[in-house]
Amino acid sequence: MESLHGFVGIGTWETTAEFRNLRIIINGKTIAAVAPGNALADCQIARGDWNISTNLIRQTSSATDTALVFGDAAWHDYDFFVDARKVSGNEGFLIYFATADMAAPSRWVIGGWTNTRHALQSPGIPADSKPGKIETGRWYKIHVSLRGNTVTASIDGKVIHKEKRRPADTRFPAALIPDLFADPAIANFNGRYYCYGTTDGAGQGLATSGTPVVWTSDDFRSWTLHGPIVDPDFDAKWWAPSSAILRNGRYYIFPTLDNRITTLVADTPLGPFRTPDGRRITKTSGWKQMDIKVGNPIDAELYEHPDGTLWMAWSQRYICRLSDDLTQIKGTPIEIPTGQRGYSEGPILFARNGMLYYLYTLDGSERYHYAYMVSPSGSPEGPWVKPAREIIAETDVKAGIIGPGHGCVVNHPGTDKWSFVHLEFGRSGTNRQSVAQDLIFDMDGWIVPIKFTSKRKSPPSNVSFGVTTSSTARPLEIPPVNRPELRRVEELSASNILDGSNGTRWMAAPSDTSPNVVIDIRQVRSITTLEIAFVNPMGGHSFAIDVATTPGKWHQATVVKTPVIASPHLIPVNANARFIRCRITSGTPGIWSLVVGLPTNK
C-alpha cells in the first residue's frame, strides 16, 4: 500500500494567527524552512490573507478554511514542525499534511468546533476526535510525523493522535446509466422505461444543476440519452423530478425548480416540458411554483390511487392530494408519522397487493439510509404502520455501496419483480450515479432489507480485448463528508472502458492535447459498429474513428466534425481490422464504456 504523501501547510478557521520555526525534515535532513534569510518563496496561498517575512508568517483574515501550503506531492516519511500562536478568533489552527490535492486535503484541526476539540481529517484515517482548546497569545510547538501509512500528531511534545490510513477502496458499483446522474425517477409507458433525474457533474455543487434530460430503455439494461427535455431558453435550477405520469393524454412531471416543486407538462414523455398554461421556464415568463407552506417543498413523488385521485409526497414526510389541474395541493397536508425522526427527503410511494408503501431517506452523504412505513389499507391518509425492520438500505462498505440516497421503486410490467433504484454517493458532492438493486418482499408483504450488490452487468464479449490510451488522469481521491474512516479513490484507467459496468471510466490527463483510445481485438475481424458512452455527453463530442490491420497503419473509418450530443454514440465502422482508434477532438476527454460490434456467429 502506498505511503502517506503530499504537501504540508498551515491554516486557520475564523482565527488570526502567527507561525514561526516552520521546517520539514526527511531522513534527518532539513529540506524546507522559514528562518532568517529564507522566506519560503515556493509556498502557495490557497486561501486567506498571509504576510510572509524571513522568520514569521502571519494570517490576518478571520475567514473560514484558510490555507498556506508548500512542498511536493511526492514527499513522504517526513517530520513537519511549526510553532503557532493564536492572535484572535473563535478557533485554533489547521495543520496540513499528506495533501496531494487540495480538493481532498488531509489536515489536523487543532482547537476546532468553537475551540473545544482536536481531530484529524484525512480520507481513510479515523477522525480520533479529542477534547482540546487553544489559548490566545500562547506559542504551541506542533509536530506531525508521517511513517508509512501512520500519522502521529503532537503538541508540545505530547502525542494527541496516532492513526493509520486504511487502504483505499477503488471499487465503484455497476451503474444503471453511464453518466453522473442522480435522484432517479422511472416510469414505464408502452413497455419503455423513462428515467428522469438530476444531471450531476456541473462542478458547482448545489449552486447549479445540469441539463434536464431523460434516459430510455426497452430492457432496463441498455439506456439511451434524450435531451434536453425543456426549451432551449430554459433558465432555472432543475433538481430531483418526480417520474412522469400520464393524465388526460398528457405527461406531467414535478421537478424541483429553483428550490420548489413545480408542475410541468408535455405531449410526449421526451418533452419539451412547460407549465400547464404553456409558459416556458425563463426569468420573464411568469411561471409559478407550487404554494406549499409545510415541510421542505422539494423532491416530489406521485401516487395514483385506484379511485383516480393523484397524491403527492414531498420532503419532510408530507403528503397531500393534488388539485384537479395538478398545479397545487388540495386540502390539508398530512405528516406521515414515521418511526425514524430527523431530516428526511427523497420520498418514494408505491402500492403492491393493496398495501401502500412510503420510503424516506434519513441523514445524507455517506450516512444516507432508507426507512419505510406501510398503509395496509392502501390509503394515503393511513393509518400508517411501522415495520419491525424499518431500515431497508444503508451504506454497505463490503458491497462497495456508499450512501444509498434519493431514488425510486420500479415494478417491471407484467411481473411481481421490483427494483430499488437509488443514487450512490461514492464520488461525493454532486457527482453521483444511479444504481439498481432487487427489491424483495416477504410472505406478509414487508420489505426485506436490501442485500446490496456492486456486481457488474454481464460484460460484453470484448471485455478480453486490449486497450491503450494516449494518457491517463491521475487517480481521484474522494474526500469523505461525514465518515472520515471511508477512503475511496477513483482510478481513471484504460481498462475501465471495457469492463461493461457503466460505473467506471477512463479520463485523459488534463495536459493531453490529442486524447485517444486504441482497442486491440487480438485478430483481424469484421467490425460492424462501435458503441461509445463518453463522459459528460450533454457537452457534446466530436471524434474520429480509425482502423488498422497492423500497428500504426491507420485508415479513417468515420469522422464526426461537429460536436454531437448522444449517449451512446452508435458509430458505423464496416471494416476488417484488428486495431480501432477513437480520437476525441472536442468534448470531455473521457469514456464510460466502449463496445465493439462484431458479426453474430450463426
Q: In CATH, what number is assigned to the domain containing residue 65?
A: 2.60.120
Question: What value does the mean pLDDT take over residues 252-274?
Answer: 97
Amino acid at 459: P
Whether residue 450 is contained in a domain is answered as no
The reply to whether 122 and 233 lie within a common domain is no
The reply to whether 275 and 308 lie within a common domain is yes
pLDDT score for 270: 97
Higher-confidence position of 365 and 462: 365
Cα–chain-centroid distance for residue 331?
37
List the domain range (segments joined by +) for residue 37: 7-164
Give the range with max mean pLDDT: 20-24, 34-38, 446-450.
446-450
User: Count of domains in the chain?
Assistant: 3
Is residue 587 over pLDDT 60? yes
CATH classification at residue 284: 2.115.10.20
Is residue 36 over pLDDT 50? no
β-strand pairing of 541-548 with 555-564: antiparallel
* Nearest-angstrom CA–CA distance, 122 and 4: 10
C-alpha distance from residue 16 to each of 83, 97, 348 (Å): 14, 20, 48
The reply to whether 134 and 86 lie within a common domain is yes
Q: Which three cell numbers stand for residue 426?
A: 461514492
Query: Which of 164, 192, 218 lies at the terminal end of a domain, its last residue?
Result: 164
Whether residue 526 is contained in a domain is answered as yes
Amino acid at 124: G
pLDDT score for 433: 94
Whether residue 377 is contained in a domain is answered as yes
Other CB atoms within 10 Å distance of the CB of residue 91: 23
Global confidence as pTM: 0.83
The reply to whether 369 and 512 lie within a common domain is no
Is residue 104 over pLDDT 80? no
pLDDT score for 457: 54
* Nearest-angstrom CA–CA distance, 554 and 547: 5
Determine the length of the chain: 602
Is residue 39 over pLDDT 50? no
Higher-confidence position of 406 and 74: 406
The reply to whether 531 and 572 lie within a common domain is yes
Lowest average pLDDT, out of 22-36, 190-204, 262-276, 342-356, goes to 22-36
DSSP H/E element including 115: helix 112-115
Query: Which of 164, 194, 220 lies at the terminal end of a domain, its last residue?
Result: 164
Banded model confidence at residue 42, pLDDT cuts 50, 70, 90: low
Sign of CA dihedral 263, 265, 271, 273: negative
Whether residue 173 is contained in a domain is answered as no
CATH classification at residue 489: 2.60.120.260
Question: What value does the mean pLDDT take over residues 516-522?
Answer: 95
* Cβ–Cβ under 8 Å, residues 59 and 12: yes
Other CB atoms within 10 Å distance of the CB of residue 513: 9
pLDDT score for 552: 86
Whether residue 86 is contained in a domain is answered as yes
SS (H, E, C) 468-529: EECCCCCCEEECCCCCCCCCEEECCCHHHHHCCCCCCCEECCCCCCCCEEEEEEEEEEEEEE
What integer best gives the mean pLDDT of the chain? 91
The reply to whether 486 and 410 lie within a common domain is no
pLDDT score for 485: 76
Question: What value does the mean pLDDT take over residues 539-546?
Answer: 97
Q: What is the pLDDT of residues 382-401, one digit of tens each?
A: 999 999 999 999 999 888 89
Q: What is the pLDDT of residues 546-555, one digit of tens each?
A: 999 998 899 9
pLDDT score for 429: 83
The reply to whether 387 and 490 lie within a common domain is no
pLDDT score for 139: 97
Q: What residue ranges in 7-116 does DSSP mark as E strands?
A: 7-12, 15-26, 29-33, 44-47, 50-52, 57-59, 67-70, 78-89, 93-99, 107-111
Q: What is the pLDDT of residues 320-372, one digit of tens each?
A: 999 999 999 999 999 999 999 999 999 999 999 999 999 999 998 999 999 99
Whether residue 420 is contained in a domain is answered as yes
The reply to whether 401 and 533 lie within a common domain is no
* Cβ–Cβ under 8 Å, residues 72 and 78: no
Is residue 47 over pLDDT 90? no
Order of strands across the sheet with 391-394?
Answer: 348-352, 355-362, 369-375, 391-394
The reply to whether 248 and 392 lie within a common domain is yes
Q: Which three cell numbers stand for residue 196?
A: 428522469
* 383 upstream amide cis, omega within 30 of 0: yes
Is residue 460 over pLDDT 90? no
Task: Write out the DSSP string of 341-376.
Answer: -S-----EEEEETTEEEEEEEES-GGG-EEEEEEET
Q: Which three cell numbers stand for residue 209?
A: 444543476
Whether residue 157 is contained in a domain is answered as yes
Q: Which three cell numbers stand for residue 148?
A: 508509512
The reply to whether 346 and 433 lie within a common domain is yes
* Nearest-angstrom CA–CA distance, 17 and 86: 4
* Nearest-angstrom CA–CA distance, 306 and 310: 9
187-225: burial string, b at 16+ Cβ within 10 Å, e else? bbeeeebbbbbbbbbbeeeeeebbbbbbbbbeebeebeb
The reply to whether 110 and 210 lie within a common domain is no
The reply to whether 367 and 510 lie within a common domain is no
* Cβ–Cβ under 8 Å, residues 201 and 163: no
Query: Which of 439, 472, 489 lies at the terminal end of a domain, its last residue?
Result: 439
Banded model confidence at residue 602, pLDDT cuts 50, 70, 90: very low
Q: What is the pLDDT of residues 66-97, one digit of tens each?
A: 999 888 888 999 999 999 999 999 999 999 99
What are the backbone angles phi and psi of residue 524, rounded to the nearest 5°?
Answer: -70, 125
Could you tell me which of 502, 474, 501, 513 has the C-alpha nearest to residue 490? 474
Whether residue 348 is contained in a domain is answered as yes
Other CB atoms within 10 Å distance of the CB of residue 277: 11
pLDDT score for 458: 47
* Cβ–Cβ under 8 Å, residues 238 and 260: no
